[in-house]
Structure 1
Amino acid sequence: MIDQYKEYFSLEDKEVLLEMYKTIFEIIYNWIVVVDKEGYIKMMNKGYCDFLGTTEEEAIGKHVTEVIENTRMHIVVRTGNREIGDVQQIRGNKMIADRIPIIKNREVIGAVGTVLFKDLVELDTYAKRVNVMEKELEFYKKELKKALGNDNTFDHIIGISQSLRKVKELAKQVANTKSNILLLGESGTGKGLFASAIHNSSLRGEYPLIKINCAAIPNELLESELFGYEQGAFTGAQKGGKPGKFELANKSTIFLDEIAELPLNMQAKLLKVIQEREIDKIGGTKTQKIDIRIIAATNQNLEEMVKKKLFREDLYYRLNVVSIKIPSLRERKEDISLIIKHLIKKFSKEMDKFVTEITPASLSALMRYGWPGNIRELENVIERAFNLIDKEAMIMLQHLPLYITNPLNSAITKNSKTLKFMLEEIEKHAIEKSLIENDGNKRKTAKDLGISRTSLYEKIERYDLDM
């Protein structure tokens, strides 16, 4: 190395460098031996000599086989093949040795041998330390996900309905791809839960999911939040600048919720990020390459917005590589009882209340309701009930809001004020109540209601009351 740069160094410099090399050679933790092309020792550090019970003066000049037991250094200089991580027994100790040929002008001129682990016990100790560190790292990753609310999996999506099962299967199928995903569904259907489950099932799941609600950030701050800024980019910019959400999501996934609320000028910049896979910070002078996957979500009809020029068509198709429509709660009412059981366990733990069940009448009322707010509304209703429960240990009708327990009020809350609609809701409630009282016996139910069995069957089919 010194010869390579001899024209740049004075004699004094060379002497200093040589002294440095010697010092490093002696103090380095590894045991080191250097041999020439014939296998004769040229250098051996003090640690190795002490272990072998010799000195540098005695060792240097001897053939390596005379000094080191079971050595293969002379074989390495002959073959020119390196040997890494070989187990070598010396003086009763099994050690881990590396042997590397020294090549100059395509000719082997010697070899260097190192012993990193002096015995297998030491190697085992290192391996255990690494294992502990890996477990700690995995623990902190999980804790970070919990802190960010990103530890959800597909097991957290509760339901047995056919519509939900189809959607879950599709989401699982595309989770491990690199394609962008567009989640569609009404407010409160669980689009964020699906985004988290998809991310955690993907190859990017070891990194945290980065979330941003496009509707919650003022337009003037949106660009800096998404793409970040450099120091001094504008008045009030924090010292040292700030990374944007896209930079934080590098090698991971970014979840753009309420994507329909993104202004048109920001839609153009997002399109550029997707196409070129790079970002420009505000006030920056160079672009930064990023590797991200986008999951976008909206409760609006993007196709209609494209037609009205409110959403860019090219961006729509870039985001809509895989479209997943999450069913509303009223489309999968058979899942309501399962979700309620889950929520009872959740709030019992969080609120430290002993609640075990829900009465049949209360469940029936919740099953009748239309749930315009979907699962989010159901969760709020159950949490409200927990606040009202005293010693009953169960959710009863008096713990539920009046607009749910009263069928007429329930009809009005469904954004329909027609008399026909309200009468149908009352009729449906009466038939369902009679069926429950008669244990599903349709002949008795028809008699109690004063209608024919044919008429009853027609109404059961119309109101989807398969009991």
Structure 2
Amino acid sequence: MNPGFCQLPFEWLGEIINLAAERIVVVDQDGIIKYINDAYCDFIGTTIENAINKPVQDVIENSRMHIVAKTGQPELAAVQSINGSEMIANRHPLFVGGDLVGAVGTVMFGNPQEWWAYSSKIQSLLDELKYYKTKYEKELRSKYKFDDLIGISPEFTALKKLAERVSGSQSAVLINGESGTGKELFAHSIHGKSSRSIFPFVPINCASIPEHLLESELFGYEEGAFTGAKRGGKKGKFETAHYGTIFLDEIGDMPLSMQSKLLRVLQEKEIQKVGGQKTISVDVRIIAATNRDLEKMVSEGRFRQDLYYRLNVIKLDIPPLRERGEDIVLIASSLIRKLEKKFHREGILLSGHVIQKLKNYSWPGNIRELENVLERAINVLDGRIIEAKHLPLYLRDQELDGGPASNQLSEQDFLDDGPSLSLKENAEIAEKRAIKKALNLAGGNKQKAAKLLEVSKTTLYDKCRQYGI
């Protein structure tokens, strides 16, 4: 026997048992009651004196304590009727020195009222837990499927069929395409049709997370790993995506130091948390995406060649919208249906003049820019038909027979008589032009472009999304 237990005064034990278990009864191997507390006696309408040394089935209605004392098999959360009320009983066999000597029984809820009082106290906690569980599961599931990828152009149709065919593979996928072409939609769709679809889909934008935080985001950290680390540490994206898919967007912006650590995960299928000593096995499929020329970056020493080959097992090149002329009206119609729900509108149509302008434009921001244009048009639309006057100025003034108009606006564009623009619209045009110029000067590197513009990288990414760049 534990000597620490023996130090308790005997008279304490009864009170401790009463506090630890509201109603308790102990029987020997023959089913004779050897202990019963006041709470149980009050519950069944008897006294300790009248219950002790009596067969348990003679004292407690519908008892099975004598059976458990013989079989040694526990009966947990069993419903038992006593005094016309259903209560929940736990019956445990009692072993001492390896020998079965009896059984211990407790009553959890003496009547439905007790259960109701208990459940009402925890119901709000259960509801909150259910809410966060549902939210977590929804956020880590693929949101799009292949039916959401709109297009009938031969190149896009062939790409879509290839993506569907490789969905069942476990190999890494590299999606290449300009900003706004729908790389993330392809990633969602591939995961959704894969054998991993019931497990998490975890997206992470490698360019939007500061370099010093990227490792802890991807691999997690142990408690005390650095100043400000959460108590108990934190799971990383790879651990969260276990058995599922991790989508590494803007992989071309990942720092070289992190590329080597990512390569190790792909090779060894294990991670090590920041500040941790042990390795954790992970089983994830990698889908990476970029709008950068990774082959050129490899030749320039800005992207690891071995990592590139690891990622480039299956390559999907998404064509830009300007090469999908026959898809533009289909995509625009699909986006309008989506925007109708957002604006609580219905029956919105495109005029023939607008359709021609949409087909003639070069769409440097691709589908994202097209959605922004349509959203802007619906915001200023009074009726049901989108006319040229509802389009932004750079689309409104392009010459239909002269091909796509230039996105570069001269000072004269602001001075000529024409559709009046607000100060905000003029500022947006100038801001968009400055961002494009900086990106051209930086060779598409958004980090360098942000430095040229003297803004943070996060601000630049937000602006690019806003303007469909």
TM-score per shorter chain, which class? 0.5 to 0.7
239, 261, 280: which one aligns with 1:250: 239
* Residue 26 of structure 1: how far off its partner (Å): 0.6
Moved more, 100-109 or 348-357: 348-357
> Within 1, Cα distance between the matches of 2:293 and 2:56?
79
- The corresponding residue for 2:205 is 212
Q: Residue type matched to 2:390 in 1?
A: H
> Within 1, Cα distance between the matches of 2:162 and 2:126?
35
- Seen in structure 2, the aligned counterparts of structure 1 residues 134 and 43 have a Cα distance that, compared at 3 Å, is same
Q: Residue type matched to 1:399 in 2?
A: H
- Seen in structure 2, the aligned counterparts of structure 1 residues 325 and 44 have a Cα distance that, compared at 3 Å, is farther
3-state SS of the aligned residue for 2:8?
helix
CA contact (8 A) 2:163 2:316 kept: no
Q: How does 1:135-146 map to 2 (within 5 A)?
A: 135-141=127-133
Q: Residue type matched to 1:211 in 2?
A: I
* Residue 52 of structure 1: how far off its partner (Å): 0.7
* Residue 299 of structure 1: how far off its partner (Å): 2.4
TM-score by length of 2: 0.67
CA contact (8 A) 1:153 1:198 kept: no
Q: Residue type matched to 1:381 in 2?
A: V
> Within 1, Cα distance between the matches of 2:72 and 2:140?
55
- The corresponding residue for 1:373 is 365
Q: How does 1:328-407 map to 2 (within 5 A)?
A: 328-330=320-322, 335-344=327-336, 347=339, 356-386=348-378, 389=380, 391-400=382-391, 401-402=393-394, 405-407=398-400
Q: Residue type matched to 1:362 in 2?
A: V
52, 77, 81: which one aligns with 1:85: 77
Matched, 1:100 2:92: yes
* Residue 212 of structure 1: how far off its partner (Å): 2.8
Moved more, 307-316 or 26-35: 307-316
> Within 2, Cα distance between the matches of 1:149 and 1:108?
50
CA contact (8 A) 1:223 1:266 kept: yes
Q: Residue type matched to 2:205 in 1?
A: I
CA contact (8 A) 2:43 2:110 kept: no
Matched, 1:312 2:323: no
Question: RMSD in angstroms over aligned alpha carbons?
Answer: 4.4
3-state SS of the aligned residue for 2:31?
coil
Runs of 5+ consecutive residues of structure 1 not aligned to the other structure = 415-467
- Seen in structure 2, the aligned counterparts of structure 1 residues 244 and 396 have a Cα distance that, compared at 3 Å, is farther
Percent identity of paired positions between Structure 1 and Structure 2: 41
**Deviation readout 1:67-103 (Å, 9 max, x if unpaired):** 1111111111222222223322222122232222122
* Residue 362 of structure 1: how far off its partner (Å): 1.1
> Within 2, Cα distance between the matches of 1:194 and 1:43?
68
TM-score by length of 1: 0.67
Q: Residue type matched to 1:410 in 2?
A: G
* Residue 268 of structure 1: how far off its partner (Å): 0.8
Runs of 5+ consecutive residues of structure 2 not aligned to the other structure = 408-469
3-state SS of the aligned residue for 1:269?
helix
3-state SS of the aligned residue for 2:199?
coil
- The corresponding residue for 1:202 is 197
* Residue 285 of structure 1: how far off its partner (Å): 5.8
> Within 2, Cα distance between the matches of 1:221 and 1:151?
25
Q: How does 1:4-403 map to 2 (within 5 A)?
A: 5-6=2-3, 9=4, 14-16=6-8, 21-28=13-20, 30-119=22-111, 135-141=127-133, 152-154=143-145, 157-159=148-150, 161=152, 162-163=157-158, 166=161, 169-170=164-165, 173-174=167-168, 181-195=173-187, 202-205=197-200, 209=202, 211-214=204-207, 216-217=208-209, 219=211, 222-223=214-215, 226=218, 238-240=227-229, 247=236, 250-252=239-241, 254-274=246-266, 275-281=268-274, 284=275, 286-287=277-278, 289=280, 291=282, 293=284, 294-302=286-294, 305-306=297-298, 310-320=302-312, 323-330=315-322, 335-344=327-336, 347=339, 356-386=348-378, 389=380, 391-400=382-391, 401-402=393-394
* Residue 267 of structure 1: how far off its partner (Å): 0.9
> Within 2, Cα distance between the matches of 1:194 and 1:245?
29
* Residue 345 of structure 1: how far off its partner (Å): 5.0
Aligned length: 394
- The corresponding residue for 2:443 is none
CA contact (8 A) 1:158 1:335 kept: no
